[in-house]
Every structure is written in structure tokens, then in C-alpha cells.
């Protein structure tokens, strides 16, 4: 007979308690512990059919075969890049993102375009007919892609025991349910158990598995943090829904770097890979307008020129408004304070709005200088022109700080036909003052730089 057990889980970190508490001792969060009733089958250890329980033996490390792990080419350059050069066999990859951002579209696209591989795409959210309609929009190229609309994990593993696949996609982990635990789909115990089963399947069969995970309103993956600990790779799909651009970021990767990102554009027939991001992130303008500055940023190993737009106007209310999309508002406030204190610009009574073109979020600190220049350009109504770009971090004392990969940024700016790039003085070592049409300027303090940029105007 099945035992019934009431357990309390922390929604944040997944810690388990025997009684309710106001604060989770494990992660320190308040009000995150909730009750779940679990029926555990007596045969707790019996795994669903399809998971191979063969035992592995301990092996001597020096006798193990060296060399890199075999990787599956996803036939999608951006995804290969984010995964660190293809998908490692037997790895478990979690793809998170807000609803409607395009997780299902991207993974279905991968599944139906992966030529020469047998793929099983399991959806707990859509019927086979709905998936077929979506697949027709994208274009089916893989003759060996199977679709299954199912939420019971036992049924999925039963099918997997009867067919050998090269790739498994689960959309989504929140809809999956295992009979071994009697709580509702999407509850923490179900998510944890189903992920554990998938993990065992992936490791025992060497089949790579993608799982889609939903994201809650505050931007964390729904379900406990343990989910992120269990999987090998966590990818996050982000972007502004009003724009077509989507960024696939790697937040954790046991088999590659986490600084890489992939860029896509959502189109009518699926996701287009964007291999040259600079061209889309600089908006087309007819004339010079003030409040626009271009930053030479690096995302992952890739240089990317991005347009920063600022609008500075007199505050209507007593407290000025500061708002930023794609940029940290606290960092914006800090830059405004530096401009006020160290460079003598009076911005305390001004509203400041900031926008990064394309609706993307930038992490690179090298965007600071472009943000500062865009703000001043808007404040004084002095256009900077579209042939100048910036790449430096701004420190609290107003110093212009060095950023890494200066040379790559310079090369990208030159390639795109810029005439001037402003950097930190300390980035100039080993860099020519003039490369082609591009002249390279280095400064150590914002005051001197502003004189050079705005002085002549």
C-alpha cells in the first residue's frame, strides 16, 4: 500500500521540512514554505521502464579514456555556440524563459531540422495537431522526428524503452507527472522527481535531453533551485516581446563557458539565427539626433555595437524620474551622480530615460561611457554623429577604466565604418592610434573626454 506523507517544501530552494515554518533555514527566504501531500509507492526504488539501471563500476582515473566528450552538432550555429560547441552526449539541458518568448518554437525547430538524427519531442502543453501546424510554419526537414503529446512520465519512458533516439525534448517539466508521487503536476516534489528520472535516463542511455522550464514573474525558474543544480546546463531565453530579437544566454554550463550567447530573430517561419548582431542593434536614422551614442560592447566572445538612447528633460514632478530599459537603473543613478559630482553637470532636476536599442539587456560594463555620453548629448542637445563609438567603464571618481578585448572592439568598429572610438587611456597599450579610417582616442577622466567629444560643438 502507498504511504501518505505531508511534507513542506521551500519554493525558492527546494529544502524539505517536516513542519511549516515562516522562514526557510536553508536559503533565508520568508514565506516560501508550503505544504505538499505525497503518496509514495512502496516500491520506491522501482524506476519507470526505459531507464536502464545497469551499474557502472569504479574505474581508475589514469585508465579512463582521455579526450573530449562527443558532441552532437545541433545544425544551428547560435545554439552550438551557447552550448560550448555542440550538445554533449548524455547531458541534461534546461531551457528557461517567460511564456511566449519562443522556447517551444526554438526546440521544435531544432527537432524538425536536425537532419539524420532520431528525435522525440514530447509536449505536455499542446496536442499533436497543434504541433504539426507549428511545424508546418517552420518547415520540416528531419524525416525522423517523432511527436508525442503526453504528461505521464511512465508512458514517456515506456516509449523510450521501445525506440532508440538521439535526442529527447521535454516541453515542459512543469506539465510532467510521475505516478510514484501523488502530488499535482508542477509541484516541487513532482518537478524534482521527474527531473531526477530524466537525469538518470540521460546518464544511463547517453541520450542528450532538453527540458523546457517556465519562469515565474520575478524572473526565476519556476520550481526550486534544485532543478538548476541537477541539470548540466541552464540556458535562458530572453528578449523584449515587443521586439523580434531573442537572446539565448548560458547561466550554467558544465561543458563550456557561460559567457557565450546566441542571438535569434523571431520570424513568421521560426527563429532566424543572427550571426552579425551589430547591424541590427544600430537603428537606421536619416539625420543626426541628440541623445544617441554607440557602445562597442562584447557579449561572450563576440563584439557587438549597440545603440544607447537617452532622453533628458526637466522634471515635471518634485522627484525626477529615472527609468532604463535594458540597463540597470541603479547603475544609471550611479552614473548620473558621477556626472553631477565629478564633471559638474546639473542633472538633479532632470528626468532621465534610457533605452538600449533592440530591447536587449547588456551586461558588459564597457557600455558606461556610451550611456554617459548619450545623457549629456540629450541634455545639451548636441548630436554625436553616427561615426563615433565608445567602450569604457566609468568609475566612481569619474575615471575611465580599462575594459578587456579592446582590440576586438576596435576591429569591429573599423569593420562597420566608424571614424572614432573613445576608450580608456589604459586600453591603448599595443594599439595603433589609427587603423584604417578609424582613429583611436584614449582618456583617463570623463572631464577631459567630454571636452574632446563635446568641446568643439
- Tell me if residue 224 falls in helix, strand or coil: coil
Report how far Cα 192 is from the mean position of its chain's Cα atoms: 23
Cα 119 from Cα 145, distance rounded (Å): 5
Give the nearer residue to ligand TYD in terms of CB position, either 150 or 368. Answer: 150
For residue 190, the tally of other CB atoms under 10 A from its CB is 25
Give the nearer residue to ligand TYD in terms of CB position, either 10 or 263. Answer: 263
The option from ligand TYD, Mg ion, none interacting with 323 (CB < 5 to 8 A, set by class) reads none
Cα 273 from Cα 252, distance rounded (Å): 22
When binding is defined by CB under 6 A, the residue of 91, 105, 195, 378 that contacts ligand TYD is 105
- Site mask for Mg ion (CB under 5 A), range 49-88, x = bound: ----------------------------------------
Q: Would you count residue 141 as binding ligand TYD (CB under 6 A)?
A: no
Q: Would you count residue 211 as binding ligand TYD (CB under 6 A)?
A: no
Cα 199 from Cα 177, distance rounded (Å): 15
Q: Which residues of 352-391 are buried (b: 16+ CB within 10 A; e: fewer)?
A: bbbbbbbbbebebbbbbbbbbbbbbbbbeebebebbbbbb
Q: Would you count residue 104 as binding Mg ion (CB under 5 A)?
A: yes
Q: Would you count residue 265 as binding ligand TYD (CB under 6 A)?
A: no
Q: Would you count residue 175 as binding Mg ion (CB under 5 A)?
A: no
Give the nearer residue to ligand TYD in terms of CB position, either 109 or 424. Answer: 109
Closest distance to ligand TYD from the beta carbon of 268 (Å) = 5
Closest distance to ligand TYD from the beta carbon of 446 (Å) = 41
Closest distance to Mg ion from the beta carbon of 291 (Å) = 38
Which one of the spans 79-87, 98-106, 381-389, 404-412 is the region binding ligand TYD (CB under 6 A)? 98-106
Cα 189 from Cα 193, distance rounded (Å): 6
Cβ neighbours of residue 6 closer than 8 Å, sequence gap 6 or more: 35, 36, 37, 38
Q: What phi and psi values does residue 278 have, to the nearest 5 degrees?
A: -55, -40
Give the nearer residue to ligand TYD in terms of CB position, either 105 or 153. Answer: 105
| Orientation angle between helical segments 368-380 and 446-454, nearest 10 degrees | 50
Cα 335 from Cα 337, distance rounded (Å): 5
Give the nearer residue to ligand TYD in terms of CB position, either 169 or 293. Answer: 169
- Please give the sequence-ordered ranges of beta strands (E in DSSP) within 292-367, or none if there are none: 292-299, 302-314, 322-325, 350-356
Give the nearer residue to ligand TYD in terms of CB position, either 97 or 326. Answer: 97
Give the nearer residue to Mg ion in terms of CB position, either 104 or 250. Answer: 104
Residues at the interface with Mg ion (CB under 5 A): 104
Q: What does the binding site for ligand TYD look like in residue numbers (CB under 6 A)?
A: 97, 99-105, 134, 137-138, 266, 268-270
Amino acid at each position: 500500500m502507498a504511504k501518505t506523507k505531508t511534507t513542506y517544501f521551500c519554493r525558492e530552494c527546494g529544502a524539505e521540512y517536516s513542519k511549516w515554518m515562516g522562514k526557510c533555514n536553508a536559503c533565508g527566504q520568508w514565506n516560501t514554505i508550503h505544504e505538499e501531500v505525497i503518496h509514495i509507492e512502496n516500491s520506491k526504488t522501482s524506476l519507470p521502464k526505459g531507464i536502464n539501471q545497469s551499474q557502472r563500476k569504479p574505474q581508475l582515473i589514469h585508465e579512463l579514456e582521455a579526450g573530449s566528450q562527443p558532441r552532437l552538432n545541433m545544425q544551428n550555429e547560435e545554439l552550438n555556440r551557447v552550448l560550448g560547441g555542440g550538445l554533449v552526449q548524455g547531458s541534461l539541458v534546461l531551457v528557461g524563459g517567460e511564456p511566449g518568448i519562443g522556447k517551444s518554437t526554438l526546440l521544435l525547430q531544432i527537432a524538425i531540422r536536425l537532419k539524420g538524427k532520431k528525435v522525440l519531442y514530447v509536449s505536455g502543453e499542446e496536442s499533436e495537431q497543434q504541433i504539426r501546424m507549428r511545424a508546418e510554419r517552420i518547415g520540416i526537414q528531419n524525416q525522423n522526428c517523432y511527436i508525442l503529446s503526453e504528461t505521464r512520465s511512465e508512458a514517456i519512458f515506456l516509449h523510450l524503452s521501445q525506440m532508440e533516439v538521439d535526442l529527447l525534448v521535454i516541453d515542459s517539466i512543469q506539465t510532467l507527472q510521475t505516478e510514484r508521487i501523488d502530488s499535482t503536476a508542477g509541484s516541487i516534489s513532482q518537478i524534482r522527481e521527474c527531473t531526477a528520472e530524466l537525469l538518470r535516463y540521460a546518464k544511463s542511455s547517453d541520450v542528450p535531453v532538453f527540458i523546457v522550464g517556465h519562469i515565474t514573474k520575478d524572473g526565476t525558474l519556476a520550481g526550486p533551485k534544485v532543478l538548476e543544480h541537477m541539470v548540466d546546463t541552464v540556458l535562458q531565453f530572453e528578449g523584449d516581446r515587443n521586439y523580434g530579437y531573442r537572446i539565448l544566454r548560458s547561466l550554467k554550463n558544465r561543458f563550456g563557458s557561460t559567457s557565450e550567447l546566441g542571438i535569434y530573430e523571431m520570424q513568421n517561419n521560426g527563429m532566424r539565427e543572427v550571426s552579425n548582431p551589430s547591424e541590427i542593434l544600430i537603428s537606421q536614422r536619416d539625420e543626426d539626433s541628440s541623445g544617441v551614442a554607440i557602445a562597442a560592447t562584447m557579449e561572450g566572445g563576440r563584439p557587438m555595437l549597440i545603440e544607447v538612447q537617452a532622453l533628458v528633460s526637466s522634471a515635471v514632478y518634485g522627484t525626477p524620474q529615472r527609468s532604463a530599459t535594458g540597463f540597470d537603473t541603479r547603475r544609471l543613478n550611479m552614473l548620473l551622480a558621477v556626472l553631477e559630482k565629478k564633471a559638474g553637470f546639473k542633472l538633479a532636476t532632470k528626468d532621465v530615460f534610457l533605452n538600449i536599442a533592440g530591447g536587449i539587456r547588456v551586461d558588459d560594463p564597457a557600455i558606461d561611457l556610451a550611456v554617459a555620453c548619450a545623457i549629456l548629448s540629450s541634455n545639451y542637445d548636441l548630436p554625436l554623429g553616427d561615426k563615433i563609438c565608445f567602450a569604457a567603464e566609468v568609475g566612481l571618481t569619474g575615471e575611465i577604466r580599462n575594459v578587456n578585448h579592446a582590440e576586438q572592439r576596435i576591429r569591429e568598429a573599423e569593420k562597420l565604418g566608424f571614424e572614432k572610438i573613445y576608450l580608456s587611456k589604459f586600453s591603448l597599450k599595443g594599439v595603433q592610434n589609427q587603423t584604417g579610417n578609424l582613429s583611436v582616442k584614449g582618456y583617463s577622466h570623463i572631464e577631459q573626454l567630454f571636452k574632446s567629444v563635446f568641446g568643439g560643438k
